[in-house]
Structure 1
């Protein structure tokens, strides 16, 4: 793991939530994009030493929509930067970690991503995020 890449925060509406981060906290919006493989619209915010990723569901289906329906808005996941994501997935599986994604999927900013099951992360959803090919 190469440190925390970002912290994902599930929100019902980026348009309604973004002013809090910009106007109240004084943080800068980096970009907004849709990630259809994850069924979300995301807004990346410069949090100084770590990015914040606001996640808005595009439909009522998908992990983020289900998360909000069950738990409400809030911290959704912690993402670690990695290189060689498939090797990291295989390594974690060898160590007994239950992966949600056994193969990387397209993520925001052209990254390849995969998620560990929260039961293997002591109740925390962790994401592996490989930007190696995009930077």
Structure 2
């Protein structure tokens, strides 16, 4: 590894799971594991309808499960489902400063999906590391909304 600064990860933010039907998946995770929905939203830019689920009583500081359903078959999640079927799609690390983390990642020669961080779930700012640069795993860097 290079001697560039590391991305300063503070926690595992969430694990993203691709699902064909968001409402059906939410019901499964609520009924099976007792998780509660902390947010649902549509992200047109990423082509998904999504939900964040957390353990009961979680104040938002714990690790979440993010369910991702495609808005269209040609969206990233739509293509993922067509190729691989439902399942783990990404691992997201929480960082304090996504700009610093993105620079650190690129400084190590890894490829990011965006030139600059973009809008993410719950008003966060996010960047993705290409799976070819991260051992086959799509890694998301999440700077939570500070408000």
| Alignment partners' CA distance in 2, 1:121 and 1:13 | 28
Give 1:17 deviation, angstroms.
Answer: 1.3
Give 1:25 deviation, angstroms.
Answer: 1.6
Are 1:80 and 2:88 matched, yes or no?
no
Give 1:61 deviation, angstroms.
Answer: 2.2
Give 1:134 deviation, angstroms.
Answer: 3.6
Unaligned runs of 5+ in 2: 1-8
Q: Which residue of 2 aligns with 1:3?
A: 11
Give 1:62 deviation, angstroms.
Answer: 2.0
Alignment of 1:1-135 (within 5 A): 1-47=9-55, 49-131=62-144, 133-135=145-147
Q: Which has the larger radius of gyration?
A: 2
Q: Which residue of 1 aligns with 2:6?
A: none
Give 1:102 deviation, angstroms.
Answer: 2.1
Count of residues in Structure 1 that have an aligned counterpart in Structure 2: 134
Q: What TM-score results when the alignment is normalised by the length of structure 1?
A: 0.93
| Alignment partners' CA distance in 2, 1:62 and 1:83 | 29
Q: What TM-score results when the alignment is normalised by the length of structure 2?
A: 0.85
Runs of 4+ in structure 1 displaced over 4 angstroms?
A: none
Bigger CA drift: 84-93 or 116-125?
Answer: 84-93
| Alignment partners' CA distance in 2, 1:27 and 1:62 | 27
Indicate conservation of the 8 Å contact 2:39/2:122, yes or no. no
Give 1:88 deviation, angstroms.
Answer: 1.2
